[in-house]
């Protein structure tokens, strides 16, 4: 079907269409120099179709033709996604750079998967076998994984294998099997399939309650505000509080199979950091480069806004695809606020009735729909796969009472709120231990966590009181509580992301350190006065801090551990 442009306003184009128009279908606006700019139909009014263009609309004219398709915006799924760097529409950025150079240019699109690369396919079904959507026909090795080639997820009913290729090297678009369906429908299967990004991909037996702790190696998360495989969490925080750094260290150290990094409307430089560093870092779990388990979807702030809106969906669809293989996938989206703002820009141009802060009325349901795509599935073959979603939120003015933060808090399982006070005081990661929460159970027994949270709260109360009555008006007991809370904050909650050892603490080490600290926190020190209390706690802080910097089980580690035992045995009076 064809149409003509009748209006252009920002990235919004209105086209008059002849024939049937499909909502959310893909269209191309043909600029007079031959470039075809991809767009999506987002509203239909009579013969007028409003399109959001995924590119700068510079140069489009009234009367330019528009080519409509019937298909929705889709991604291509198959072997070769891992290690890729895509834009929000799944164009491979390194290849695009080879083809068109330094700058991105409107109207250039490329195949997401390399059509020439050969993959060593091993069939696992025979002619005559019956298969259904999501079932493997065979597999190829992809880096550290065995990547099953699955019957397209959208195909309903049972299919009989008519032909299957023998083991050998094939390109992704080669036919590897032919199947026939109930009403004698014949279909060919290649190693790739397409999936519309705005539709959740879930081809499973059942959805499970997520409960397995997902270890990020960030102490304050794993021990205090845990997340689980298949769960959701958000990181709201004012600018510069440490959202991105927190996600970066999570993407490095989290104990998951695959990480999808969605850089959504944030800085290009931050993505470059990941691009450059990851190939050089080894994943301790596999001994391979971290890049082999990572996919980067990168639609940074100066890239077109509509594609930014699509990027989080592209990312979550790829995450769901790897979940279908029984893998644990983590999607880190930075920042969901930029995605919400992309929605706001579109809504504004459509002149929809605005809600709070001009966000559209459907903001909350879109946020909910996105996070609902996380989850833990029991697949048809019995394997369990999960998608965990962690999104950052960038609230205007750092004030959490705004639509995106509030809409997100309603649907996530854990809240890691970053505080300006903590980041200004360089108390990183700046997750506020008093405000944050998690509905999940992590690696530390809940009673112990409760105890420490109680102490932190009391410590904070004492601190506030002290601001009114002064130190001299504070009893030694209260003062000690305050010092203990500070101590825990200093040696456990704070973690130096830029120190090789301290940056990542394994679950076992966390349990050991937490328990040791708990001994200190529970101890009755019987201090004589505030000065003595302060001196002892400074000493303890110094010991534990150095312990954090010592590599696990190194000589230094053991030496410090002994000194800490001594510190506890003598109630800090030994040294």
Ligand X SMILES: Nc1ncnc2c1ncn2[C@@H]1O[C@H](COP(=O)(O)OP(=O)(O)OP(=O)(O)O)[C@@H](O)[C@H]1O
- Binding residues (CB under 5 A) for Mg ion: these are 243-244
Mark residues 22-41: x for contact with another protein by CB under 8 A, - for none: ----------x---------
Site for another protein in 402-441 (CB under 8 A): 424-426
Q: Are strands 136-142 and 384-393 parallel, antiparallel or unpaired?
A: unpaired
CB 417 to Mg ion: min, Å? 15
| Site membership for another protein, residue 341 (CB under 8 A) | yes
The residue from 70, 117, 169, 357 that contacts another protein (CB under 8 A) is 357
CB 336 to ligand X: min, Å? 12
CB 430 to ligand X: min, Å? 7
| Site membership for ligand X, residue 497 (CB under 6 A) | yes
| Site membership for ligand X, residue 9 (CB under 6 A) | no
Q: Which of ligand X, Mg ion, another protein, none sits in contact with 60, Cβ below 5 to 8 A by type?
A: another protein
Sheet with strand 145-150: strands edge to edge: 145-150, 136-142, 118-123, 168-171
Nearer to another protein, 221 or 298 (CB): 298
Site for another protein in 95-154 (CB under 8 A): 96-97, 101-106
Binding range to ligand X, per CB under 6 A, among 75-83, 187-195, 240-248, 351-359: 240-248
Mark residues 258-287: x for contact with ligand X by CB under 6 A, - for none: --------x---------------------
| Site membership for ligand X, residue 427 (CB under 6 A) | no
502, 549 Cβ separation under 8 angstroms: yes
Nearer to another protein, 328 or 541 (CB): 541
What gap in Å lies between CA 322 and CA 345, rounded to an integer? Answer: 32
CB 261 to Mg ion: min, Å? 12
The residue from 19, 34, 46, 58 that contacts another protein (CB under 8 A) is 58
Dump the DSSP string for 233-281. Answer: EEEE--TTSSHHHHHHHHHHH---SEEEEEEESS-HHHHHHHHHHGGGS
| Site membership for ligand X, residue 216 (CB under 6 A) | no
Phi, psi for residue 300 in degrees, rounded to 5? -75, 175
What DSSP character marks residue 357? G
What gap in Å lies between CA 21 and CA 427, rounded to an integer? Answer: 54
Binding range to ligand X, per CB under 6 A, among 55-63, 234-242, 305-313, 466-474: 234-242
CA of 221: how far to CAs of 247, 398, 492, 544, in Å? 12, 21, 11, 19
With H, G, I as helix, E, B as strand and everything else as coil, classify residue 560.
helix
Nearer to another protein, 9 or 182 (CB): 9
Nearer to Mg ion, 36 or 243 (CB): 243
With H, G, I as helix, E, B as strand and everything else as coil, classify residue 406.
helix
Closest CA to 167 of 131, 118, 132: 118
Q: Measure the N-to-C terminal CA separation of the chain; round to a whole number of Å.
A: 84
Mark residues 278-317: x for contact with another protein by CB under 8 A, - for none: --------------------x-xxxx-x------------
| Site membership for another protein, residue 348 (CB under 8 A) | yes
| Site membership for another protein, residue 61 (CB under 8 A) | yes
270, 338 Cβ separation under 8 angstroms: no
Angle between helices 363-371 and 305-323 (to 10 degrees): 30
CB 266 to another protein: min, Å? 8
CA of 573: how far to CAs of 174, 479, 528, 531, 532, in Å? 74, 18, 12, 13, 10
Q: Count Cβ atoms below 10 Å from residue 120 Cβ, excluding itself.
A: 12
Nearer to ligand X, 471 or 499 (CB): 499
Binding range to ligand X, per CB under 6 A, among 177-185, 233-241, 445-453, 515-523: 233-241
CB 300 to another protein: min, Å? 6
The residue from 43, 267, 378, 453 that contacts another protein (CB under 8 A) is 267
Q: Which of ligand X, another protein, Mg ion, none sits in contact with 399, Cβ below 5 to 8 A by type?
A: another protein
215, 507 Cβ separation under 8 angstroms: yes
Q: Which of ligand X, Mg ion, another protein, none sits in contact with 559, Cβ below 5 to 8 A by type?
A: none
Polymer length in residues for the chain: 575
CB 208 to ligand X: min, Å? 32
Containing H/E element for 30? Answer: strand 25-30
- Partnered with residue 431 across adjacent β-strands are 418
Site for another protein in 358-387 (CB under 8 A): 358-359
Closest CA to 68 of 33, 44, 87, 92: 44
Nearer to Mg ion, 84 or 244 (CB): 244
With H, G, I as helix, E, B as strand and everything else as coil, classify residue 16.
strand
Q: Which of ligand X, Mg ion, another protein, none sits in contact with 432, Cβ below 5 to 8 A by type?
A: none
| Site membership for ligand X, residue 362 (CB under 6 A) | no
Closest CA to 332 of 308, 296, 299, 304: 296
């Amino acid at each position: 079907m064809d149409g003509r442009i009748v209006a252009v306003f920002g990235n919004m184009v209105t086209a008059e269409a002849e024939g049937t128009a499909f909502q959310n279908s893909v269209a191309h606006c043909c600029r007079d120099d031959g470039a075809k700019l991809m767009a999506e139909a987002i509203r239909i009014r009579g013969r007028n179709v409003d399109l959001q263009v995924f590119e700068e609309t510079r140069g489009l004219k009234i009367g330019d033709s528009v080519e409509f398709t019937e298909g929705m915006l889709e991604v291509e799924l198959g072997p070769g996604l891992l290690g890729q760097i895509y834009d929000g529409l799944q164009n491979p950025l390194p290849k695009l750079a080879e083809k068109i150079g330094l700058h991105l240019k409107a109207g250039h699109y490329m195949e997401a998967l390399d059509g020439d690369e050969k993959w060593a396919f091993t069939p696992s079904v025979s002619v005559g076998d019956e298969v259904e959507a999501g079932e493997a026909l065979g597999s190829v090795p992809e880096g550290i994984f065995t990547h099953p080639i699955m019957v397209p997820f959208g195909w309903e009913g049972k299919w009989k294998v008519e032909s299957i290729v023998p083991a050998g090297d094939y390109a992704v678009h080669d036919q590897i099997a032919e199947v026939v369906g109930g009403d004698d429908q014949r279909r060919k299967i290649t190693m790739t399939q397409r999936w519309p990004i705005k539709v959740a991909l879930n081809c499973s037996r059942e959805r499970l309650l997520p409960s397995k702790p997902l270890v990020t190696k960030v102490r304050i998360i794993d021990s205090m505000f845990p997340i689980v495989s298949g769960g959701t969490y958000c990181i709201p925080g004012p600018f510069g509080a440490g959202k991105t750094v927190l996600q970066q260290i999570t993407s490095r150290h989290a104990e998951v199979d695959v990480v999808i990094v969605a850089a959504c409307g944030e800085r290009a430089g931050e993505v470059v950091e990941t691009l450059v560093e990851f190939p050089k870092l080894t994943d301790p779990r596999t001994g391979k480069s971290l890049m082999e388990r990572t996919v980067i979807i990168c639609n940074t702030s100066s890239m077109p806004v509509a594609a930014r809106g699509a990027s989080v969906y592209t990312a979550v669809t790829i995450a769901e695809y790897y979940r279908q293989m029984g893998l644990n996938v983590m999607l880190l989206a930075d920042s969901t606020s930029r995605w919400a703002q992309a929605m706001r820009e579109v809504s504004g141009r459509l002149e929809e009735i605005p809600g709070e802060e001009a966000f559209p009325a459907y903001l909350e349901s879109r946020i909910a729909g996105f996070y609902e795509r996380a989850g833990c599935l029991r697949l048809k073959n019995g394997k369990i796969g999960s998608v965990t979603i962690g999104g950052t939120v960038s609230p205007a003015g750092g004030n959490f009472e705004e639509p995106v933060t509030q809409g997100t808090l309603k649907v996530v399982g854990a809240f890691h709120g970053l505080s300006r006070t903590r980041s200004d005081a360089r108390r990183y990661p700046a997750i506020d231990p008093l405000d944050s929460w998690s509905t999940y159970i992590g690696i530390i027994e809940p009673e112990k966590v409760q105890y420490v949270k109680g102490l932190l709260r009391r410590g904070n109360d004492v601190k506030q009181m002290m601001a009114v009555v002064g130190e001299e008006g504070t009893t030694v007991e209260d003062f000690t509580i305050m010092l203990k809370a500070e101590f825990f904050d200093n040696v456990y909650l704070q973690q130096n992301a830029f120190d090789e050892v301290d940056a990542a603490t394994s679950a076992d080490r966390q349990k050991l350190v937490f328990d040791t600290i708990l001994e200190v926190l529970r101890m009755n020190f019987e201090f004589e006065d505030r000065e003595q209390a302060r001196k002892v706690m400074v000493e303890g802080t110094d010991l534990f801090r150095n312990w954090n910097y010592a590599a696990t089980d190194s000589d230094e580690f053991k030496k410090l551990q002994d000194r800490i035992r001594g510190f506890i045995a003598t109630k800090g009076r030994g040294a």
